Chain A
Amino acid sequence: EETTGAHDEL
């Protein structure tokens, strides 16, 4: 699983 930022936030 890649670690990415909170892309579901605006």
Chain B
Amino acid sequence: MNLFRLFGDLSHLASIFILLQKIQSTRSCRGISFKTQALYATVFITRYLDLFYEWVSLYNFTMKVFFIASSCYILYLMKYKYRPTHDPSIDTFRVEYLLGPCVVLALLFHYKFSIPELLWSFSIFLEAVAILPQLFMLQRTGEAETITTHYLAALGAYRALYIPNWIYRYFTEDMVDPIAVTAGLVQTALYLDFFYVYFTKVLQGQKFELPA
């Protein structure tokens, strides 16, 4: 464990609390892509299967349980409790275009041809692109509530912080995970446009609005 990873994970935790706060305080999931949230739940469930047969640490165990539980809870909130506030007509990204290629990539790139390792690879690739339905929705509506942009910023910061973590681990532990690093770089790159608007507008106190 190093500080980059710790702060990355904390940022990830923060993003989930911000999202829950947004849903509870506005009593609405307007502006949140159900598809992205469903993809994240899929990512956590397929990646953290090792909960059942591998012990890493109490930290690791607790975080994994939290991510699975919170992502399922968010799906419940969106699907049942605040269902009327979710508008599927603007959440139109075709997730099969993401799932298909991720299955193929996992079959091509993995560390071991076993069910858990294939699912692990799949989850890594899927996480890299899971934010796309959300960003697509943002692009379509052209604006976002400030609290939603804080959620996205915290999520993006989590991924960005994993990059110095890998550099640090390369030098201190001689450890490289090419699949996670490649997917992580792609994932972080997807946030660049968003970060630009977030830093130049939201953090200057303006509303998140994309130029027409």
Contacts and interface: CB of A to CB of B under 8 A. Distances in A.
B112 A4 contact: yes
A8 B124 contact: no
A2 B64 contact: no
Contacts, number: 37
A6 B60 contact: no
Interface range for B: 20 to 34
B63 interface: yes
Interface string B144-183: 0000000000000000001001000000000101011000
Interface of A: 2-10
A2 B54 CA distance: 15
Contact of B60 (A2, A3, A5, A10): A10
Instruction: Determine the main DSSP class of A at the interface with B.
Output: loop
Contact of A8 (B56, B67, B111): B56
Contact of B56 (A2, A5, A7): A7
B175 to A, nearest CB: 7
B5 A9 contact: yes
Nearest to A8: B56
A6 to B, nearest CB: 4
Contact of B112 (A3, A8, A9, A10): A3
Contacts of A4: 111-112, 117, 120
Interface string B90-122: 000000000000000000000110000100110
Given A10-B60, A10-B63, A10-B64, A5 B5 contact: no
Contacts of A9: 5, 162, 165, 177, 180
B143 interface: no
Nearest to B175: A6
Nearest to A3: B111
B209 interface: no
A8 to B, nearest CB: 5
17 contacts: A2-B111, A3-B111, A3-B112, A4-B111, A5-B111, A5-B117, A5-B121, A5-B124, A6-B175, A7-B50, A7-B54, A7-B56, A8-B57, A9-B5, A9-B162, A9-B177, A10-B60
